[in-house]
Amino acid sequence: MPRIDTLARRSAAIAAAAALAVTTAALVGSQSAAATTGCRVDYAISSQWPGGFGATVAVTNLGDAVTGWRLSWTFPGDERITQSWNGTHTQSGKQVTVANASWNGGIATGATASFGFNATAGSAPATPAVFTLNGVTCTGSTTTTTTSTTTQPGRPMVENNFAVTREGAYGDNRYTVFRPSNPQVVGGALPVLAFGNGACAHTDNREVTQALTFIASKGFVVVDTGSVDGSPNGVPSGSPIPSLLTGAITWAEREHNRPGSPLAQRLDLTRVATAGHSCGGLEALVAAQDRRVDAAVSLNSGFFADGSFGYSRSELGKLHTPVMFLDGGPSDVAYDNTRANYNLATVPAMLAEHPQAGHVGFITGSQLTEGMTAVVHFLDMVLNNNQTARSYILDPSGLASRSPWAVSRKNF
């Protein structure tokens, strides 16, 4: 379904949760919400020259009105966009996403948004076969879906224990996917977590395998940077590439719509988060600025005061989602950065500190289960409005009461 004013929706959910938290023995009912989705794309080659071409794209929204749009497609050849207008493009290999400009994000039902671009091409350019608007395949027709808006006062996701499959991402060896082995038994659509590795390792994710398997076993689909076998995938390591995490979300959107995928129509693309460890935490915080993201987790990480790695602390002002910061105490090399980033955040934020974890305890050490349990509860609270998870994260009797944790929160 299209993403409709994510920040307002999440803020409303948090406010509603706060009201429910003070009501004991409340009975929470459920209701259904219908959403109509659909789109048509008119893609035209407007000009050609040796080694390149220009194109115009018109996107007609046939479904409910949207307040922000992202159109994605895969080029059939070696086309490479060099310039775009009336939208902002990102491209990785053949995969392209164009997001709205600041002034044309709203598309009413039946209305059209247009943009254009110039690109290089080694041969005659061809029209891409499939376009998706905010994760919905544009077929020229509409679909009406009904989703539950039930709040969940009881069973949290952390109590799940699904068998997990770790596999290479279909059609894209930049990613490894951790998912429940049998999505059908989960009993609902699966939220998506895009994860960035420590040291911004973009080919090897063995260090985080145990932690991400834990998260996936609770009912998440985790898309991690790095090929499944550690083989070269054309992506350099060592510096943040936030577009890898937004690309992971785009991959999930395609997989949700790919016939024959084990995740076909099994993902909930209205419940998306980014997370990362150390250098990967920088990637997660920048990627969380994407309109599709609803929550962010920064593990032993934070923007440096001097703008190291190419990103300054002004990036924190661009966040629109609740964020969780975790650090491992004074022995954690990211301790000062984590605390400073939490203090500067203006969105709902929490800081959870475990003085024995150091820099890698949540990922490979004896604090892994405690750390990942906190992460799952935080995501469950924000993405699902789960009241048990909310109590664990925010109440004095929750994580804050578990020695030696220290917990701070603001704006919740």
The mean pLDDT of 244-262, rounded to a whole number, is 94
Q: Are residues 195 and 299 in the same domain?
A: yes
Mention every residue, 6+ apart, whose C-beta is less than 8 A from residue 175: 168, 169, 223, 224, 225, 226, 227, 248, 251
Q: Are residues 229 and 351 in the same domain?
A: yes
Is pLDDT of 33 > 90?
A: no
Of the two residues 305 and 147, the one the predictor is more confident about is 305
Q: Which of 325, 333, 332 is nearest to 408 (CA)?
A: 325
pLDDT at residue 393 in the model: 96
Q: Is residue 149 part of a domain?
A: no
pLDDT at residue 18 in the model: 40
The mean pLDDT of 46-63, rounded to a whole number, is 95
Three-class DSSP category at 44: strand
- Residue 13 tokens, joined: 């959910």
Q: Are residues 50 and 197 in the same domain?
A: no
Which pairing describes strands 112-120 and 52-61: parallel, antiparallel, or unpaired?
antiparallel
Confidence of residue 154 (pLDDT cuts 50, 70, 90): low
Q: Are residues 180 and 94 in the same domain?
A: no
Q: Are residues 243 and 340 in the same domain?
A: yes
Q: Which domain holds residue 213?
A: 157-410
Mention every residue, 6+ apart, whose C-beta is less than 8 A from residue 163: 180, 181, 182, 217
327-346 per-position pLDDT tens digit = 999 999 999 999 999 999 99
Q: Is residue 349 part of a domain?
A: yes
pLDDT at residue 51 in the model: 95
Task: For residues 13 and 19, give the distance between their C-alpha atoms in angstroms, rounded to a whole number.
Answer: 10
Mention every residue, 6+ apart, whose C-beta is less than 8 A from residue 77: 94, 121, 122, 123, 125, 126
Is pLDDT of 128 > 70?
A: yes
Q: Are residues 135 and 260 in the same domain?
A: no
Q: Is residue 192 part of a domain?
A: yes
Q: Is the distance from CB of 402 to CB of 385 less than 8 angstroms?
A: no
Three-class DSSP category at 313: helix
The mean pLDDT of 280-289, rounded to a whole number, is 97
Q: Name the residue type at position 362.
A: F
Peptide bond connecting 156 to the previous residue in cis, omega within 30 degrees of 0:
no
170-180 per-position pLDDT tens digit = 999 999 999 99
pLDDT at residue 30 in the model: 37
**How many domains does the structure of the chain reveal?**
2
CATH number of the domain enclosing 220: 3.40.50.1820
Is pLDDT of 135 > 90?
A: no
pLDDT at residue 37 in the model: 83
pLDDT at residue 91 in the model: 86
Is pLDDT of 121 > 90?
A: yes
Percent of the chain with pLDDT over 70: 89
Q: Which of 110, 141, 172 is the last residue of a domain?
A: 141
What is the distance in angstroms between the CA of the first residue and the CA of the last residue of the chain? 27
- Residue 332 tokens, joined: 């954690």
Confidence of residue 202 (pLDDT cuts 50, 70, 90): very high
Strand order in the sheet with 406-410: 164-168, 175-180, 221-225, 190-196, 267-277, 295-299, 323-327, 349-353, 406-410
pLDDT at residue 34 in the model: 59
365-408 per-position pLDDT tens digit = 999 999 999 999 999 999 999 999 999 999 999 999 999 999 99
Task: For residues 321 and 411, give the distance between their C-alpha atoms in angstroms, rounded to a whole number.
Answer: 11
Q: Is the distance from CB of 117 to CB of 89 less than 8 angstroms?
A: yes
Confidence of residue 13 (pLDDT cuts 50, 70, 90): very low
Task: For residues 252 and 264, give the distance between their C-alpha atoms in angstroms, rounded to a whole number.
Answer: 10
Q: Average pLDDT, whole number, for the chain?
A: 88
Is pLDDT of 155 > 90?
A: no
pLDDT at residue 143 in the model: 76
Mutual angle of helices 243-257 and 279-287, in 10-degree steps = 60
pLDDT at residue 136 in the model: 82
Q: Is residue 95 part of a domain?
A: yes
Is pLDDT of 8 > 60?
A: no
Q: Are residues 54 and 104 in the same domain?
A: yes
The mean pLDDT of 231-255, rounded to a whole number, is 95
Q: Is the distance from CB of 130 to CB of 73 less than 8 angstroms?
A: yes
Q: Are residues 346 and 383 in the same domain?
A: yes
The mean pLDDT of 95-122, rounded to a whole number, is 92
Of the two residues 321 and 134, the one the predictor is more confident about is 321
Q: Are residues 179 and 281 in the same domain?
A: yes
Q: Which of 116, 141, 166 is the last residue of a domain?
A: 141
Q: Is residue 359 part of a domain?
A: yes
Q: Which of 286, 319, 281, 285 is nearest to 299 (CA)?
A: 281
Burial status of residue 49 (CB atoms within 10 A of its CB: 0-12, 13-18, 19 or more): exposed
Task: For residues 248 and 368, give the distance between their C-alpha atoms in angstroms, rounded to a whole number.
Answer: 24
Q: Is the distance from CB of 85 to CB of 46 less than 8 angstroms?
A: no
CATH number of the domain enclosing 67: 2.60.40.290
Task: For residues 301 and 336, give the distance between their C-alpha atoms in angstroms, rounded to a whole number.
Answer: 9
Q: Is the distance from CB of 26 to CB of 20 less than 8 angstroms?
A: yes
Which pairing describes strands 221-225 and 190-196: parallel, antiparallel, or unpaired?
parallel
- Residue 207 tokens, joined: 């260090």
Q: Is residue 33 part of a domain?
A: no
**What 8-state DSSP symbol labels residue 156?**
-
Q: Are residues 369 and 299 in the same domain?
A: yes
Q: What is the enclosing helix (H) or strand (E) of 87?
A: strand 87-92
Confidence of residue 105 (pLDDT cuts 50, 70, 90): confident
Give the lowest-confidence range in 142-146, 219-223, 246-250, 361-365. 142-146
Q: Are residues 126 and 161 in the same domain?
A: no
Q: Is residue 148 part of a domain?
A: no
Q: Are residues 227 and 78 in the same domain?
A: no
pLDDT at residue 346 in the model: 94
Mention every residue, 6+ apart, whose C-beta is less than 8 A from residue 75: 94, 95, 96, 128
Q: Is residue 305 part of a domain?
A: yes
Task: For residues 170 and 361, give the distance between their C-alpha atoms in angstroms, rounded to a whole number.
Answer: 31
